A and B are shown apart, each in its own frame.
Chain A
Amino acid sequence: MSLLELRDVEVEYTRQGRPPVRAVAGASLSVEGGQVVGLVGETGCGKSTLARAAVGLVAPTAGSVWFEGRQIRPLGRRARSRADARLQMVFQNPFSSLNPRRRVGDQIADAIAILGLVSAGRRRERVAQLLERVGLPGSAAQRFPHQYSGGQRQRIAIARALAAEPSVLVLDEPLSSLDASAQAQVANLLKNLARELNVGLLLISHDLAIVRHIADVVAVMYLGLVVETAPSRRLWSAPLHPYTEALIEAIPRSDGKGWLPESLPGEVPDPARPPSGCRFHPRCPYAFDRCVSEPPALSAVAPKRAVACWLHEAGGVERAPSTFARMTRAVSGVGDQVDGV
């Protein structure tokens, strides 16, 4: 059994006077020690909700979350047990996740004090050690968050999460508020943490390019469902799901050659009223009759690879969607939004 395991998690948000939204409609994921699992998808696909469900910040309406062999219960009034504190989370914006009025060191020391991990006399030493672990000088403990840049603040937030000696870290868009060079620094740091401390990372991001760089395994989410999982290298070189293919094609290249990225027609549909059959079919260039009527299940097509798409049969050859003939069909109103050259 994996360190962190999400089994068919569903999260539904109820709204007054309107139909409920199933933000996560049955997603399964697992994270091993020392493994970096990337979770990518567009805004509104449910990836942040899934991350919050993974640490118990929202209650799943169905399915379960297992951490180190125990089921994770949603956070309540009672403090987390010491064992459950080994599952930690880092948020997107270090400007709001750090307390601006407390010294960096005090914020990091909280976890150590509450969990009683280190004797009071050695706490300061441990804080300095954690700061150095994330690439900051130990003297940073005496300063305030505003004295640091975005990248440095994100390091502080990571140090604070590490203070609880976690075995799994869930990171919700930890890189997206950072500049390119800070992003690279934090990305390298995350990968090293996984390798050196044997911490499992669940990294949520909309940026497939950076995820590919640091994740061992990537899961792609679309409208509440995981549509493809694969080792990140394979996912990039041979995407199986048409949505993954579209995501990769949309990434601009920085070689100065003036290549215009491909845009995906249409918009992410309203999760309260998902399309019938495969949820991606209204935007899929390969969709055929079966896609409209029957939802495909996530099934293994090759070792370590699973995809939810009718183009692929279990045990079949790994084929890129583009090798299938583009199904010609009239998609009214969708094609109009594509900006052709």
Chain B
Amino acid sequence: MTPLLSVRGLRVGLPTAAGMVTVVDGVDYEVAPGQVFGIAGESGSGKTISVLALLDLLPDGAVVEGTATFEGTDLLRLGRRAMRDVRGQQIAMVFQDPMTSLHPMMPIGRQLTEHIRFHLGASNRAARTRAIELLEEVRIPDAAGALTAYPHQFSGGMRQRIAIAIALACRPRVLIADEPTTALDVTVQAGILRLLDRLRRQSHLSVILITHDLGVMSSIADSLTVMYAGRVVESGPTAEVLGAPRHPYTAGLLAALPHPEAPEDTPLVSITGAPPSAQSRPGGCAFHPRCSFAVQSCVTDIPPLVPVGDERRLACPVDPLVVPT
């Protein structure tokens, strides 16, 4: 399948007090139409920055290299005006905390219609009809009545549904969801995951799902990439990567999760140490100080991301977890 969005060699440098820091260091991925593509990793791994870069949402002074081809155009070379048309209309974004991403003092009807009127030039009446349609799409009860309500009148789950409705207003091709369920309870999270799953089936929407929660990833992502310290360490179809991880970091993340069938009093297996900060990333494979399989070359050389099998790629020269066939 031809990818809808194809990112190659993305590098992002951010200015800090201590000078330029490379936060994302050579990331490649592809997003196919109607697919959920996941980016997993712990805080500080650069997963959010790598998508903010696509929409030119980084702070001033950020340096972005590489290409991001979306329907034949390179997003990273677009001018301000052209980018404004891509943002919201072609690629929309939903953030972690709907309490901060929604305007607290504006009725949600206006937050929905302003967007539709600006991008599509719709009349007030048409925008209102579309807003009701959108709220029904994300299953907000009493959609017409909800238009005059304020964000604080809704629960966390409802607010996230509204944020998704706003993102969907101009029928984007790609929805970037950055930790969309992290602030929510599991029962509510399940509803949002089902909503995203329905949207990609019904509307053929592509979703880039950013989350640290491999359980969430496992439920709806078709393929995923695991990031560590700004680089991709492993990528491939979700069933393969999570079913049989090959990078020690992916395996470690999975082992740290509580397993429902674990016998009594088994301690959780955690990765020793903590992820490095962007300013102090170790040389070679950034994971080597925490890796129990590390060899000499891990300390000195950055392992390249090489294909292993059909759609899987792995950045580990040791590949200690390969299943003998």
What is A's interface to B at a CB cutoff of 8 Å?
42-43, 149-152, 179-185, 187-188, 191, 206-210, 212-213, 233, 236, 246-247, 249-264, 267-268, 333, 336-341
A152 lies within 8 A of B268 (CB): no
How far is A339 from B189 in the complex, measured between Cα atoms in Å?
A: 11
Which of B186, B189, B191, B256 has most chain A Cβ within 10 Å? Answer: B186
Can you list 6 contacts pairing A with B, beta carbon distance less than 8 Å? A180-B253, A208-B186, A233-B264, A250-B190, A252-B218, A263-B188
CB of B270 within 8 A of chain A?
Answer: yes
Encode contact with A along B129-148: 1 for CB under 8 Å, 0 otherwise: 00000000001010000000
CB of B124 within 8 A of chain A?
Answer: no
A180 lies within 8 A of B212 (CB): yes
- A183 / chain B contacts, CB cutoff of 8 Å: 256
Among A191, A254, A256, A258, which residue has its beta carbon within 8 angstroms of that of B257? Answer: A254
Kindly list 15 other residue pairs between chains A and B, CB separation below 8 angstroms, not including A149-B274, A208-B186, A247-B187.
A42-B188, A150-B43, A184-B269, A191-B265, A209-B257, A210-B258, A252-B186, A256-B241, A258-B219, A262-B190, A263-B187, A263-B193, A263-B194, A333-B141, A337-B191
A336 lies within 8 A of B269 (CB): no
Closest to B216 in A: A252
Closest to B156 in A: A43
- A264 / chain B contacts, CB cutoff of 8 Å: 187, 190-191
Among B155, B156, B186, which residue has its beta carbon within 8 angstroms of that of A247? Answer: B186
Least CB distance, B61 to chain A, in whole angstroms: 23
A255 lies within 8 A of B218 (CB): yes
Which of B213, B214, B242, B270 has most chain A Cβ within 10 Å? Answer: B270
The 9 closest A-B pairs by CB, nearest first: A256-B242, A252-B215, A339-B194, A184-B270, A184-B268, A263-B190, A263-B191, A184-B256, A261-B190
How far is A264 from B184 in the complex, measured between Cα atoms in Å?
A: 13
A185 lies within 8 A of B257 (CB): no
A257 lies within 8 A of B239 (CB): yes
Least CB distance, B113 to chain A, in whole angstroms: 23
Number of interface residues of B (CB under 8 A): 52
How far is A233 from B260 in the complex, measured between Cα atoms in Å?
A: 9
- B240 / chain A contacts, CB cutoff of 8 Å: 256
- A180 / chain B contacts, CB cutoff of 8 Å: 42, 212-214, 253, 256-257
CB of B195 within 8 A of chain A?
Answer: yes
B197 lies within 8 A of A212 (CB): no
A260 lies within 8 A of B186 (CB): no
Q: How many A-B residue pairs have CB under 8 A?
A: 154
How far is A262 from B43 in the complex, measured between Cα atoms in Å?
A: 27
- CB interface residues, B 176-222, toward A, < 8 Å: 185-191, 193-195, 197-198, 212-220
- B254 / chain A contacts, CB cutoff of 8 Å: 254
A336 lies within 8 A of B241 (CB): no
Which of B191, B213, B265, B269 has most chain A Cβ within 10 Å? Answer: B191
- A210 / chain B contacts, CB cutoff of 8 Å: 258
- A182 / chain B contacts, CB cutoff of 8 Å: 270, 274
How far is A168 from B296 in the complex, measured between Cα atoms in Å?
A: 47
Among B187, B217, B253, which residue has its beta carbon within 8 angstroms of that of A181? Answer: B253
- B157 / chain A contacts, CB cutoff of 8 Å: 267
How far is A210 from B258 in the complex, measured between Cα atoms in Å?
A: 6
- B155 / chain A contacts, CB cutoff of 8 Å: 267-268
CB of B267 within 8 A of chain A?
Answer: yes
- A246 / chain B contacts, CB cutoff of 8 Å: 187
- A208 / chain B contacts, CB cutoff of 8 Å: 186
Closest to B277 in A: A149
- B274 / chain A contacts, CB cutoff of 8 Å: 149, 151-152, 181-182
- B195 / chain A contacts, CB cutoff of 8 Å: 339
How far is A337 from B220 in the complex, measured between Cα atoms in Å?
A: 19
- A258 / chain B contacts, CB cutoff of 8 Å: 218-220, 238-239
- B197 / chain A contacts, CB cutoff of 8 Å: 260, 339, 341
A213 lies within 8 A of B262 (CB): yes
- B189 / chain A contacts, CB cutoff of 8 Å: 250, 252, 261
- A212 / chain B contacts, CB cutoff of 8 Å: 258, 260
Contacts A149-B274, A213-B262, A257-B239 given; indicate if A191 touches B194 (C-beta within 8 A): no
CB of B66 within 8 A of chain A?
Answer: no
- A187 / chain B contacts, CB cutoff of 8 Å: 258, 268
Least CB distance, B205 to chain A, in whole angstroms: 14
- B239 / chain A contacts, CB cutoff of 8 Å: 256-258
A341 lies within 8 A of B194 (CB): yes
- B193 / chain A contacts, CB cutoff of 8 Å: 252, 260-261, 263
Closest to A149 in B: B274
- B271 / chain A contacts, CB cutoff of 8 Å: 181
How far is A184 from B42 in the complex, measured between Cα atoms in Å?
A: 13
